[in-house]
Amino acid sequence: MTATILSGSELAKSMRKEIETDVTAFVEQHGFPPTAAIVRVGEDPASISYSNALEKSFGQRGLGFQLHALSGTASQEDIVELVARLNADPSIHGIMVQEPLPQGIDESAIKDALSPDKDVDGVHPVNTGRLAQAAPVGRPPMVAPFFVPATPSGGLEILKQHEVNLEGKHAVVVGRSSIVGKPMALLLLRENASVSLCHSYTSGLPGMCLMADILCAAVGRARMIKGDWIKPGAVVIDFGVNFVDGEMVGDVDFNEAIEVAGMITPVPGGTGPMTNIMLMKNLIGAARRQVE
Amino acid sequence: MTATILSGSELAKSMRKEIETDVTAFVEQHGFPPTAAIVRVGEDPASISYSNALEKSFGQRGLGFQLHALSGTASQEDIVELVARLNADPSIHGIMVQEPLPQGIDESAIKDALSPDKDVDGVHPVNTGRLAQAAPVGRPPMVAPFFVPATPSGGLEILKQHEVNLEGKHAVVVGRSSIVGKPMALLLLRENASVSLCHSYTSGLPGMCLMADILCAAVGRARMIKGDWIKPGAVVIDFGVNFVDGEMVGDVDFNEAIEVAGMITPVPGGTGPMTNIMLMKNLIGAARRQVE
């Protein structure tokens, strides 16, 4: 058996069109586009190339983009002050603070400083808390609108677009970061999957993975998950972005997994391209709630 | 084999002494006790008897207690206004809003209105979010101090007091309420357990339970979890409070489970008595942070 490949690139392509339509409609109605402010502190090369890529893709969709680059010597107070100014600026609808921040800066204090309504990255504890408290889909949400980090949102979107049935299925999420693993677990729980969260301390990880109808990998270790850890026919969502000899590979051994899984996202071209899309969707949603 | 009974009543008894010592020291230092305000709306009998019980046990420990009872016709605005007044009152260190609230009141708006610093019940999304974002124990927490709902905190305290090793163990939590199941899962995750969350949609629930080294039941269905769902030697934490023919029983069939499990909390006398204790600990912690 060879798994169906769940192409995030293809899905992202079609969603980009929807986003362009939404942005055009927004601009027609309001005279300005949904606009993001990115805060970058210091000159981390990965951070620079990420903000450059965002600027380009946001610009191509007609979204507004402002880069606020602070020097690496900026204090925590400087960053909080900038964030407060952006919170208060009605022309800014979404704010993202790039990581890494320089040593000595308390990242949680920066997250807390963001207005939850402009936190399109879904990193403010209020947004995390609302996701955790939200009722299962189909029931009243019990919480105010909230933002979910873009990477797990994109993974869920891939599952939904391919009409993967999640209700009552066993989803296993490997990796418990606050930006991918934990929010993905909470999203799958809202879809009425049973959810197991595994991590570096998990004993018998291959056996845990083998139980998964839906297997999500977000550990950051190249090709760690082997073909014989995968239940035949399982759906595999690979959030991994690792580099081996200059080649980008996922957390799943793709060549092995494709022989066992029912569906699998490739790396590159799987969850990666969707992150950007979901971030743009979050920004448009934020702008709508702020101005409409 | 007969399981060791994990008595919450016994543990609560010894912790009450610690709490009294803490309260006495606090009063000596500050001239007033840590003080809670309870907001009750309407005349729900269970709610009345709960606030009466709280008032009695808080009073016995020397803690301050204020009941703010609103009539069942109070509007959402009235409740939010009262909460705002209590937030601003420096003589109040912890605020709890009793459920149920009358129909038509948006519970999430009331939770959002609480000051997170006085939210000793751990229901504000900021507190939920900080718990979800918190790093595993032993690593820097990455978040500001936060409150965890008292019932799951009490369950974890029982596990810790009996030196149950959680690291790398498989914990299965049945039930996904925001007040017990989900926070319990997040607490166990911080202790480096692998955590599976099951609920009404879970297929093959007995099989999922059988995998548990630590099995936590928080579903609210009398004796639902049978002896043959339990792995021999497992540790069972029963959060259930159900009444059958006037008798209080848990979510676990205790008579069957005691023959299989390694350790088990009884109902009554297990997790129940610990809830009160953890609430008092939360209140003392809140008061210290506010005045010290």
CA–CA separation, B207 vs B228, rounded Å? Answer: 10
DSSP three-state, residue B244: strand
Q: What is the ipTM of this complex?
A: 0.96
Residue B141's pLDDT band (boundaries 50, 70, 90)?
A: confident
Q: A291 CB near a chain B CB, below 8 Å?
A: no
Instruction: Calculate how close chain A gets to B219, using CA atoms only, in Å.
Output: 14
Residues B183, B177 contacting (CB under 8 angstroms): no
Q: Which residues of B touch A208 (CB under 8 A)?
A: 170, 194
Pairing of strands A194-198, B194-198: antiparallel
Tell me, yes or no, if B168 comes closer than 8 A to chain A by beta carbon: yes
Question: Looking at the predicted structure, is the pLDDT value of residue B151 above 70?
Answer: yes
Contact assessment for residue A252 and residue A264, using Cβ atoms and an 8 Å cutoff: yes
CB B252 within 8 A of CB B264: yes
Q: What tokens appear for A22 in the block?
A: 């939404």
Alpha-carbon distance of B286 to B35, in angstroms, equals 10
User: How distant, in Å, are the alpha carbons of B158, B174, B227, B244 from that of B240?
Assistant: 15, 11, 16, 12
Q: Is the overall model pTM greater than 0.95, yes or no?
A: yes
Tell me whether residue A171 is in a domain. Answer: yes
Considering the domain boundaries, does residue A132 fall inside one?
Answer: no
From residue A86, alpha-carbon distances to A81, A116, A280, B258 in Å are 9, 12, 18, 59
- Model confidence at A1, pLDDT cuts 50, 70, 90, reads low
Which of A107, A169, A203 comes nearest B142 by C-beta? A107
- What's CA A266's distance to the chain center, in Å? 16
- Which residues of chain A lie closer than 8 angstroms to B115, CB-CB? none
Q: Indicate the range of A189-203, B15-29, B137-151 predicted with least confidence.
A: B137-151
pLDDT for A140 equals 84
Model confidence pLDDT, tens digit, residues A124-177:
999 999 999 999 998 887 889 999 999 999 999 999 999 999 999 999 999 999
Task: Answer for the pair A6, A264: CB distance below 8 angstroms, yes or no.
Answer: yes
Average pLDDT, chain B: 97
Residue B170 and residue B193 in contact, taking contact as beta carbons nearer than 8 Å: yes
Query: Residue type for A44, please?
Result: D
Q: How far is CA B232 from CA B3, B244, B257, B261, in A?
A: 10, 27, 9, 5
Q: Which residues contact B192 (CB under 8 A, 6 or more apart)?
A: A199, A201, B136, B137, B166, B167, B168
Indicate if A154 and A112 belong to the same structural domain: no
Which residues, listed in sequence order, are joined to residue B5 by a DSSP beta bridge?
A: B264
Whole-number pLDDT of residue A258:
98
Across the range A220-238, mean pLDDT stands at 98
Residue B71 pLDDT greater than 90, yes or no: yes
Q: Do residues B256 and B227 make contact, with C-beta atoms less than 8 angstroms apart?
A: yes
Q: Tell me what the pLDDT averaged over chain A comes to.
A: 97
If asked whether residues A109 and A175 sit together in one domain, one would say no
Give the model confidence (pLDDT) of B215-264 as tens digits: 999 999 999 999 999 999 999 999 999 999 999 999 999 999 999 999 99
Average the pLDDT over A208-234 and give the result: 98
CATH assignment of the domain containing B154: 3.40.50.720
Q: What per-residue confidence (pLDDT) applies to B215?
A: 98
Which residues form the domain of A74?
30-116
Cβ–Cβ of A197/B195 closer than 8 Å? yes
Chain B interface, mutation test: which of A195, A200, A213, A215, most B Cβ atoms within 10 Å? A195
Contacts of B107 in chain A (CB under 8 A): 142
Give me the numbers of helices (H) and strands (E) for chain A, helices first please. 10, 11
Q: Is residue A142 part of a domain?
A: no
pLDDT tier at B1, thresholds 50, 70, 90:
low
pLDDT, residue A284, reads 98
Please give the average per-residue pLDDT across A79-92, as a whole number: 98
Residue closest to B187 by CA, chosen among B205, B202, B173, B200? B173
- Which residue is it, tokens 């056996």? A207
For residue B189, pLDDT over 80 is answered with: yes
* DSSP codes joined into one string, B45-112: HHHHHHHHHHHHHHHHTT-EEEEEEEPTT--HHHHHHHHHHHHH-TT--EEEE-SPPPTT--HHHHHH
Query: What percentage of chain A reaches a pLDDT higher than 90?
Result: 97
| Stretch (H or E) spanning A55 | helix A45-60
Give the model's pLDDT for residue A259. Answer: 98
Residues comprising chain B, all counted: 292
Q: Identify whether A278 is part of a domain.
A: no
For residue B126, tell me if it sits in a domain: no
Per-residue pLDDT of A48-75, as tens digits, reads: 999 999 999 999 999 999 999 999 999 9
Tokens of B18: 């610690």
Please give the Cα distance from A213 to A54 (Å, whole number).
34
Query: Which residue, of B92, B115, B138, is where some domain finishes?
Result: B115
pLDDT above 70 covers a percentage of chain A that reads 100
Mean pLDDT confidence for B29-53: 95
Q: Do A198 and A259 belong together in one domain?
A: yes
**Are B125 and A143 inside 8 Å of each other by CB?**
yes
Q: How many domains does chain B have?
A: 2
Residue pointed to by tokens 């159900």: B242
Chain B residues within 8 A of A196 when measuring between CB atoms: 194-197
Residues B105 and B45 in one domain: yes
Question: Does residue A238 sit in helix, strand or coil?
Answer: strand
Among the candidates A57, A92, A116, a domain finishes at A116
Determine, yes or no, domain membership for B282.
no
pLDDT band for position A292 (50/70/90)? confident
Q: What is the pLDDT of residues B197-212, one digit of tens each?
A: 999 999 999 999 999 9
Residue type at B58 in one-letter notation:
F
> Which residues, 6+ apart, have CB-to-CB distance to B202 below 8 Å?
A168, A194, B174, B208
**Quick one: average pLDDT of A223-233?**
98
**What pLDDT, on a 0 to 100 scale, did the predictor assign at position A74?**
96
Contacts of A202 in chain B (CB under 8 A): 168, 194
Whether residue B79 lies inside any domain: the answer is yes
Quick check: B172 pLDDT over 90?
yes
